[in-house]
Amino acid sequence: MTKLILIRHGETSINVASLLHSRNDPEKLTPKGIKQIEKTAKVLKDMHLSALFVSNEKRALESAEIISKACGIPLKQISGLEERNWGKFSGKTWKEIQKVLDPMSIEERYTYIPPNGESWKEFEARLISAIESIVKKNGGGVIAVVTQGGSIRALMPYLLGVPKEISFKYDPGNASLTIFEYKKGKYTNIILNDTNHLK
């Protein structure tokens, strides 16, 4: 059996301002974000990680480096785990984006491509491909994946086996832990958006 741990990066100033990150932006963790991840790393150390993967986004990489050092395990960057590319919508608030998306049906939202961005469908496909590659190549261990909140949210329907619109109800907190067990091709949720260690 494989354990898959999804970790959202620590707080950034863009998170605090409720804005959408741009692809490959240089934003680092806030001092609070660093402390959050340090607390998360203490929990992960007791879980005896067998592998640590991270998206190519700066904020995720900085978070993973803290975890790597605390747990004594090397990190591996992997493409495909990055946040959705919102194109010209990057830097805007979610309320601004909702004005565009809310009039659409679920299927229209799923295939809609923001100017210079990518669709939800394209985003989901690359996330699933990345996660499946990680799990298949590292089966039988405890795998930690440091990524972004939107990436975790978009993966939930696939991992839980529920309709894609259910993703709207998931909002993983900074430095949160979401844990699944994987066995015989099926994911079973064990912990969802756990931030108790941050209190």
pLDDT for 104 beyond 90: yes
Query: How many independent structural domains does the chain possess?
Result: 1
Q: What is the pLDDT of residue 71?
A: 97
Task: Tell me the pLDDT of the chain averaged across its residues.
Answer: 95
> How confident is the model over 138-144, as a mean pLDDT?
92
Catalytic residue among 27, 82, 83, 118: 83
136/132 Cα distance (integer angstroms): 6
Q: Which of 47, 15, 40, 67 is nearest to 141 (CA)?
A: 47
Q: Which residues belong to the annotated binding site for substrate?
A: 8-15, 59
Q: What is the pLDDT of residues 58-87, one digit of tens each?
A: 999 999 999 999 999 999 999 999 999 999
> How confident is the model over 2-31, as a mean pLDDT?
92
> The CATH number of the domain where 20 resides is what?
3.40.50.1240
DSSP state of 19: B
Expressed in angstroms, the distance from the first to the final Cα of the chain is 30
Residue 54 lies in domain:
2-198
178/195 Cα distance (integer angstroms): 9
H or E segment at 164?
A: none
Q: What is the pLDDT of residue 18?
A: 87
Mark whether 83 is an active-site residue: yes
pLDDT for 96 beyond 90: yes
Q: What is the pLDDT of residues 17-35, one digit of tens each?
A: 888 888 888 889 999 999 9
Q: Which residues belong to the annotated binding site?
A: 8-15, 59
Catalytic residue among 9, 27, 57, 62: 9
Q: How far is CA 95 from CA 79, 92, 140, 162, 180, in A?
A: 29, 8, 42, 26, 31
pLDDT for 139 beyond 90: no
172/151 Cα distance (integer angstroms): 10
Q: What is the pLDDT of residue 187?
A: 97
